[in-house]
Amino acid sequence: MMPDIQLVLVGLSGLVWGSFLNVVIHRLPLMLERDWQATSPVPLDTDEALPPFNLLWPGSHCPACHRTLSPLENIPLLSYLMLRGRCAGCDTRISWRYPLVEGLTALLCLLVYLRFGWNAETLAASILTCGLIALSFIDIKHQLLPDAITLPLIWLGLILSLLPVFADSHASILGAVAGYVSLWLVYQVFRLATGKEGMGFGDFKLLSLLGAWLGWESLPQIILVSSLTGLMTGVLLIVLKRHRPESPLPFGPFLALAGWLTLLSPCTVAQGGLLTECLDQGFGHFLEKPTKGHGHQSVGKLELDIERRFAFIAMHGIESPDGLEAFERPLDQIHPNFPAFLHGIVGGERELDAALGQGQRSPER
C-alpha cells in the first residue's frame, strides 16, 4: 500500500477513534456512578428503574436538549466546524473537548505511524495511545482513572510481551509490579509524613500499565518526566491563579504524557540511555527502533552490536562510508547476511574476536 494512502487511513481512523473516545470520556464516569448507586447501601430517592445507559445506548445526542444527532452531526471534527460549535436544536455551546479529543487522537496516531511504520507495532501503540487519551481527560474532569480502562491495558501489555512487541515478558512483568509498588511506597511515605493522601490508587495502576507495556527500564524516565511536567504545570497554574495550592492536581495526565513520549522516543532508558545521550552518539537509523523480536536493548547489547557491525565490515571487505553515516544505513543494505550476523547466527566468536582485535572498534563518544 502506498505511504500516502496509509497516512490518510491512519488519520481518518484516528478521527473515528477520537469520536468514540469522546463517548467513553463522557459516559464511562456516569456509568460508574450509576453502578455505585445501584450497589450503595443507601437507597435512592426514587424507585423508578433507570433506563439503559452504556457506551452504545442511547445513541449520540445533545446533553442539554437530548435531541438525537443526525449522521451529518456525527462526522468527527467537521460537524463541530459546520455547526460552529453549537447544537442545531437548542443552540447550546458544544464543549471544546469534542474537537480537541478527535483532532488530538488523529494527530497522535499519525505520529505513532510515522514512528513505527505500517505494522503491528503501530496498531498496538495506537491502542495504548487511545487508552492514555481517555484516561487523561477523565482524570482531568473527575480525578478518576477507571479500572475498566487501566486493568485491561495492563493485561494487554503483559500479553504483548510474549511476542514481544515493546518489552519482553521478563521486563514487562517486572515493570507492572515495580510501577505499582513504587508509587504505592511514595503514597505511604507521604501519608505518614503529612497525614494526607498525595495521590490515588489509579495512579499506581497507570504506572503499572506503562511498566507492563514498556518494561521496568522505562520507569525511571517516566517518573522523572511526569514529575517535572507536573511540577512545572502546577507552579504555572498557581502563578496564573488558575489553581489553588490546596487543591489536588490530577497526576494521571502527566504519567500518560511521559509514558507516551517514552513509547515514541528514538532511544529511551530501556534502549541504553537517555535520549540526549543517544543523540550525542549519533547512531541514526541503527538506534531509531528496538531490534524487532528482541525488545529494548541494554547498553552492553548496543555496544556489542556496534562492534559486530565494524567486525562484519572488516571481515567481508565492505567499504564503510565516512564518519558515522554507516550506522544510518539499514542493516540489509550493508550486506544481506548482516542482520543474522548481528545476532550471532552467522560467524563464529573466534572470527568476531579476531576482527575486533584488528582495531575495528566503536567510535569515540
Radius of gyration of the chain (CA): 25
pLDDT of residue 131: 98
pLDDT of residue 47: 53
Give the pLDDT means over successive 10-residue stretches in the chain (365 positions). Answer: 87 96 96 85 62 87 89 92 92 94 97 94 97 98 96 97 93 97 94 86 97 96 96 93 87 97 70 40 37 40 51 52 46 51 46 48 40
Q: Beta strands of the chain (E only): which ranges?
A: none
Distance, in Å, from the CA atom of 204 to the CA atom of 184, rounded to the nearest integer, reads 6
Whole-Å CA distances, 186 to 140, 160, 223, 225: 21, 29, 12, 16
Q: Which residues pair with 82 in a beta bridge?
A: none
pLDDT of residue 229: 96
Distance, in Å, from the CA atom of 138 to the CA atom of 101, rounded to the nearest integer, reads 12
Q: Which of 28, 215, 43, 209 is nearest to 132 (CA)?
A: 209
pLDDT of residue 261: 96
Distance, in Å, from the CA atom of 75 to the CA atom of 316, rounded to the nearest integer, reads 58
Distance, in Å, from the CA atom of 262 to the CA atom of 363, rounded to the nearest integer, reads 26
Q: Locate 267 and state its grid cell.
A: 532511544
8-state DSSP, 272: T
pLDDT of residue 77: 93
Report long-range pairs for 351-358 (Cβ below 8 Å, ≥24 apart). Answer: 351/311, 351/315, 352/308, 352/311, 355/310, 355/311, 355/312, 355/314, 355/315, 356/307, 356/310, 356/311, 358/314
Q: Locate 132 and state its grid cell.
A: 492514555
SS (H, E, C) 169-189: HHHHHHHHHHHHHHHHHHHHH
Q: Locate 20 and state its grid cell.
A: 468514540
**235: helix, strand or coil:** helix
Q: Which of 289, 286, 282 is nearest to 266 (CA)?
A: 289
pLDDT of residue 312: 52
Q: What are phi and psi of 45, to 5 degrees?
A: -70, -25
pTM: 0.74
Contact 98, 80 (CB under 8 A): yes
Q: 324-350: string of b/e by CB count within 10 Å (b at 16+)? A: eebbebebeebeeebbebbeeeebeee
